[in-house]
Chains A and B, each alone.
Chain A
């Protein structure tokens, strides 16, 4: 995480400037200091993503246990909190098998192609005004285009396994991913239209001002529902987990995988879930915004907004709020998984093409009309 744009936060804390100043004080050139700074935010976000997955796995185990009136993991650490680590270690030490008739190269490349775009998408997730790796102008569009690479990895894994269940699973995953990408992109487009920018930071900025009342969910309730359904489908979560439907396809494209390659799929799907939840909170739930306007609270205490202490506190609240909203959504996703049954493949495609796509188009049209009619409320 980085205070990415020093020009904007000239007042107050600037982690990048202080870090490079420190290194230059040790006798390094400005270029070298900047080069040493660059990997730090990336590493931090990578660690955050992996830790997010561990928390997610633990939540999944505990919540599913609670739903089914079991206890769940409880011996590994307090409340079984070390269970995901144990799971990860088990996968790390398992034998890595490549089936004899499989295509070794594509078999190895498949899981990598599934994981890498998901991790790259964390580039645009903001945890605060300047707390993101890079505030690229194409922002949310970058995420949409990166997530369209994933089906290639899934097809590759399905094909290379040389197994009919794997191939069917891979084809289903790709079909599902393509079908739901379009309503998803249209839902995002409506939000982008209101904030006049693709950048995730601008999208959140447009939702600040009146605290919880200015969040996009009130202006885009339909878009929120469409986006959430499509995000679940993109993550292959129940009720849309057809690519790995265990009763029909053993485990879909993951059937032949074991050890670390399986772990890559596992990691990819959970990172994707956390990422989707984060993006829902960015697009519709005000991102790092506190339910009450922060400026209002700061003014109440009588402190200047760019005082270091105030900045640290607001940044911390921002991170906590983003993560809290995201995990609330993850909680709902897990609850959904253990509540609703899986849909059939034809129902899935019908829902995507015949229901969500027209609704998303109408939503876009209505948003455009409202933007023209009430520019004050819908981002003129």
Chain B
């Protein structure tokens, strides 16, 4: 066994272990902040797996999108609404946990069966390496153009939805007259930086 292949094997083992254990931690840990940070670790390890597959562009994109954007947004959401009080206990928690555990075990068994019965082509196709960036670009502008554009429209819709949910004040009607309020005025009105003392 050469040095390169043994390094690869060690990296693969460590990364897969981190992905598996980290993912379990994300689901099982009671502290939601730990779960969120662990999720970042899982995303990073998946990027490492992509690197092992010679897909450096996908790995970098994985880090940028999932760690840099998705995970940071999750953390933001948690930290802005996080309350120290404990959640009220849900009735029948043990039964629920048992049921969800059973569903997960079933899914796991199904995946295992698929993994073992599928005739995998080993070794897989030759990795394109650094050419991958060009190949991805070509696909995004030819046969995957429609899914790509649809995804961007979906993201735009999500963004507009988030703005609508976050800024309900913009949509209110005037309470006295019942007419729609002047949108421009509401947009321009800002809470003053120094609030007067009311007492």
Interface, chain A (partner B; CB < 8 A): 31-32, 34-35, 106, 136-138, 141-142, 144-146, 148-149, 151-152, 155-156, 158-159, 167, 170-171, 174-175, 178, 181, 198
**B40: Cβ under 8 A from any A Cβ:** yes
In the bound complex, do residue A171 and residue B76 qualify as a contact, i.e. CB atoms below 8 Å apart? yes
Contacts of B64 in A (CB 8 A): 141, 144-145, 148
In the bound complex, do residue A178 and residue B37 qualify as a contact, i.e. CB atoms below 8 Å apart? no
| Least CB distance, A145 to chain B, in whole angstroms | 4
Q: Once bound together, how far apart are the Cα atoms of A149 and B75, in whole Å?
A: 13
Q: Once bound together, how far apart are the Cα atoms of A35 and B33, in whole Å?
A: 40
In the bound complex, do residue B40 and residue A152 qualify as a contact, i.e. CB atoms below 8 Å apart? yes
In the bound complex, do residue A145 and residue B2 qualify as a contact, i.e. CB atoms below 8 Å apart? no
In the bound complex, do residue A174 and residue B76 qualify as a contact, i.e. CB atoms below 8 Å apart? yes
Question: A35-B3, A174-B75 given. 20 additional CB < 8 A pairs?
Answer: A31-B3, A34-B3, A138-B60, A145-B61, A145-B63, A145-B64, A148-B69, A148-B72, A152-B37, A152-B67, A152-B75, A155-B75, A155-B76, A159-B79, A170-B79, A171-B76, A175-B76, A178-B68, A181-B68, A198-B133
What 9 A-B pairs have minimum CB-CB distances, sorted nearest first? Answer: A148-B68, A137-B130, A145-B64, A145-B63, A145-B60, A31-B3, A138-B60, A138-B56, A155-B75
Q: Looking at chain A's contact residues, is the secondary structure mostly helix, strand, loop, or mixed?
A: helix
| Least CB distance, B81 to chain A, in whole angstroms | 12
**B57: Cβ under 8 A from any A Cβ:** yes
Knowing A149-B68, A181-B68, say if A159 contacts B63 (CB, 8 Å).
no
**B129: Cβ under 8 A from any A Cβ:** yes
In the bound complex, do residue B60 and residue A142 qualify as a contact, i.e. CB atoms below 8 Å apart? yes
**B35: Cβ under 8 A from any A Cβ:** no
Nearest-CB residue, chain B, relative to A106: B37
Contacts of B63 in A (CB 8 A): 145-146, 148-149
Q: Once bound together, how far apart are the Cα atoms of A181 and B63, in whole Å?
A: 14
In the bound complex, do residue A151 and residue B68 qualify as a contact, i.e. CB atoms below 8 Å apart? yes
Contacts of B68 in A (CB 8 A): 145, 148-149, 151, 178, 181
**B45: Cβ under 8 A from any A Cβ:** no
Contacts of A136 in B (CB 8 A): 56
Contacts of B72 in A (CB 8 A): 148, 151-152, 155, 174, 178
Residues of B73-131 whose CB lies within 8 A of A? 75-76, 79-80, 129-130
In the bound complex, do residue B133 and residue A152 qualify as a contact, i.e. CB atoms below 8 Å apart? no
Contacts of B133 in A (CB 8 A): 137-138, 198
Nearest-CB residue, chain A, relative to B132: A137
Contacts of B80 in A (CB 8 A): 171
Knowing A137-B133, A155-B72, A155-B75, say if A149 contacts B56 (CB, 8 Å).
no
